[in-house]
Structure 1
Amino acid sequence: MLVNINDLNAKSVILVHLNSGDILFQKNADQRLPNASLTKIMTALLVIEEVQKETIHLNDHVRINYYAESIIGSRLMLKYNDTISVNDLLKGLMIASGNDAAVALAAHTEPSIEEFVQKMNQKAKEIGLVNTHFTNPHGLHSSEHYSSARDIATLSQKLIEWKPILQISSLPTAKIFIGQAPKTIKNTNPLIGTYRGADGLKTGYTPQAGFCLVATAMRNNHRVLAIVLGEPSREVRNNETIMLLDYAFSLLITD
């Protein structure tokens, strides 16, 4: 069973049974907090919506600009003038959490990064996110860049309506091509391949945000979403997320 809420180290938590929409557990779920690379869930959603509209295509080849090359933090190590497909950039975004992939996708989707960020905030309002504001597509820290566990749950649910995203986020490793050169990337989500039923969705970390994780798993046709924000360490984040998922399945699966 789940330990007392006061024993959880996460600053904010939400646990949702996505089949029913029932909230199985929550702690400070509406608190505005830095959300680090969980931001990339919105970036992916906007890119996928443009793919569905056929304004861009998964096989489009994107040429890397100076901003993407120079971005700090987690990267695919893309260089100026490299080319890489939208599909491989999505893999780099969701699996390896590439900040350069986020910038490249934003620049390919809209005329400027600023316009992409405007669309991020428009989409947030459209889907009812009331404690969320974006200033960039990657999640590097900014005082005006934040979200809440509840908002991230809503956003994550919208993203996984596009079923292929779970095919991407469930890969322990993936091969992408930068130009003609293959590169193997590793999933930053520690539950993939180690927790039964886990198939997504996104990790995040900055010193200000702490260790964050959006984890989704399915067992016996029950899909569960667990979100933890502001964990003090990677190990604690992983253990508390597993604890939450175990608790959810103990409630939902009785046979």
Structure 2
Amino acid sequence: MLGVLMLVSGAVDAAPHAAKGKAHAGKVRKVANRAVRPVPVTEPLRLSFGQAGGLHATRDPLDLKSSVALVVDQDTSEVLFSKNSQAVLPIASLTKLMTAIVVVESRAPMDEMLQVTEEDIDTEKGSRSRLVVGTELSRGELLHLALMSSENRAAHALGRHYPGGLPAFVAAMNRKASTLGMSSTRYVEPTGLSSDNQSSASDLARLVKTAYNFPLLRQLSTSPELEVALGHRTLQFHNTNKLVTNPTWEIGLQKTGYIVEAGRCLVMQARLSGRHLIMVFLDSAGKYSRLGDAERVRRWLESSDAVRPVQHVPSPPVRSPASVS
């Protein structure tokens, strides 16, 4: 009965207002429209594979923000620091290091002009590119852009122009990984946009050591910037790793990577504390935290705490859960 009374009362109260004219009715309608405006629906938080697998809960003595880390002496293979180094995760654009090795070992002419086509457009993540369809650049320029500024269309075009096309290129990538003993590594395409491109920190350390043997890859990956003439325009590309322009770092080779499933990734060869070191950081959550982790490792190496190697007990390897991107 109470509910009925409330409804009747509301109807009675509304009657006098309805007689006050169209202007007031319009005002009421506007207020009503504002009142029922739908609340924007936010997208659910997307997790990296490492986050979904619980790796971010792993603690380490250096308080790194990367859930996977490995520091190895390049000359002696001594492991100085290890954190979840056997976990298998997506590696994003770190893939491009293997892409570059396969391109260089193919001995294809670096001055040969290649064209970017619609086949090179990213349909995996919908990422943007400054290399519009129809762009013609030399193989060397495309390789430079792929390593320095992580240009996806450049990397894809390099694979597509390989003898036998993209399938043969991907097969060559996996064959090279097998030759290097990268037993936890798998490639399905040359850019790293696919989360099915996966590896471990231990495997990636092998990859960095191999890539360092190519002077061209050292030069291109650590180049601060590159100007490219595209018709009547000149575009300037920059290195995705700000540490290459930091005078306190002596970096011999590097590559960054990012997709949601992989988190922020970084591999480097650098000279620190008189040693040639290989550093691998995977699945870092913050935009700049992978660079911060590199700085944390450097401070540790330069301190007295680094007299003896620190090896963190690794967790079981993490295999791909269902895609969260």
Shift of 1:249: 5.1
Contact 1:199 1:216 in 2 (8 A): yes
- Determine if the alignment matches structure 1 residue 20 to structure 2 residue 73: no
Contact 1:224 1:248 in 2 (8 A): no
| Farther-moved stretch of structure 1 (123-132 vs 221-230) | 221-230
Contact 2:162 2:168 in 1 (8 A): no
Between the two proteins, the alignment pairs up a number of residues equal to 245
TM-score by length of structure 1 reads: 0.88
Q: For residue 193 of structure 1, what is the aligned residue in structure 2?
A: 245
Question: Which of 33, 36, 43 is the equivalent residue of 2:89?
Answer: 33
1:188 counterpart letter in structure 2: T
- Determine if the alignment matches structure 1 residue 153 to structure 2 residue 209: no
1:119 counterpart letter in structure 2: A
- Determine if the alignment matches structure 1 residue 183 to structure 2 residue 235: yes
Residue correspondence of structure 1 range 134-173 to structure 2 within 5 A: 134-142=187-195, 144-173=196-225
Structure 1: segments with no counterpart, 5+ residues? none
2: CA distance between counterparts of 1:104 and 1:82?
11
2: CA distance between counterparts of 1:246 and 1:47?
36
**Structure with bigger gyration radius:** 2
Contact 2:272 2:298 in 1 (8 A): no
Shift of 1:183: 2.0
SS in 1 for 2:261: coil
Residue correspondence of structure 1 range 207-218 to structure 2 within 5 A: 207-218=260-271
2: CA distance between counterparts of 1:179 and 1:158?
36
Q: For residue 97 of structure 1, what is the aligned residue in structure 2?
A: 150
Contact 1:74 1:98 in 2 (8 A): no
SS in 2 for 1:7: coil
1: CA distance between counterparts of 2:214 and 2:298?
22
Shift of 1:214: 0.7
Question: Which of 292, 297, 305 is the equivalent residue of 1:244?
Answer: 297
1:183 counterpart letter in structure 2: L
TM-score by length of structure 2 reads: 0.70
1:21 counterpart letter in structure 2: S
Contact 1:12 1:149 in 2 (8 A): yes
Q: For residue 259 of structure 2, what is the aligned residue in structure 1?
A: 206
Q: For residue 227 of structure 1, what is the aligned residue in structure 2?
A: 280
Contact 1:95 1:169 in 2 (8 A): yes
Residue correspondence of structure 1 range 108-147 to structure 2 within 5 A: 108-142=161-195, 144-147=196-199
1: CA distance between counterparts of 2:80 and 2:117?
44
2: CA distance between counterparts of 1:196 and 1:60?
34
2: CA distance between counterparts of 1:177 and 1:98?
16
Contact 2:253 2:269 in 1 (8 A): yes
Q: For residue 5 of structure 2, what is the aligned residue in structure 1?
A: none
2: CA distance between counterparts of 1:12 and 1:211?
11
- Between the aligned residues of both structures, percent identity stands at 29
1:26 counterpart letter in structure 2: S
Change (3 A) 1:15 1:174: same
Shift of 1:247: 3.1
| Farther-moved stretch of structure 1 (103-112 vs 176-185) | 176-185
1:63 counterpart letter in structure 2: Q
Query: Could you report, residue by residue, the CA deviation over 1:62-106 in whole angstroms, capped at 9, with x for unpaired residues?
Result: 122211145556655222232101111111001110110110110
RMSD: 2.2
2: CA distance between counterparts of 1:207 and 1:221?
35
Query: Could you report, residue by residue, the CA deviation over 1:122-154 in whole angstroms, capped at 9, with x for unpaired residues?
Result: 111111001111111011133x32111111110
Contact 1:176 1:183 in 2 (8 A): yes
Contact 1:170 1:199 in 2 (8 A): yes
Contact 1:224 1:245 in 2 (8 A): no
1: CA distance between counterparts of 2:252 and 2:126?
24
Contact 2:208 2:268 in 1 (8 A): no
Q: For residue 88 of structure 1, what is the aligned residue in structure 2?
A: 141
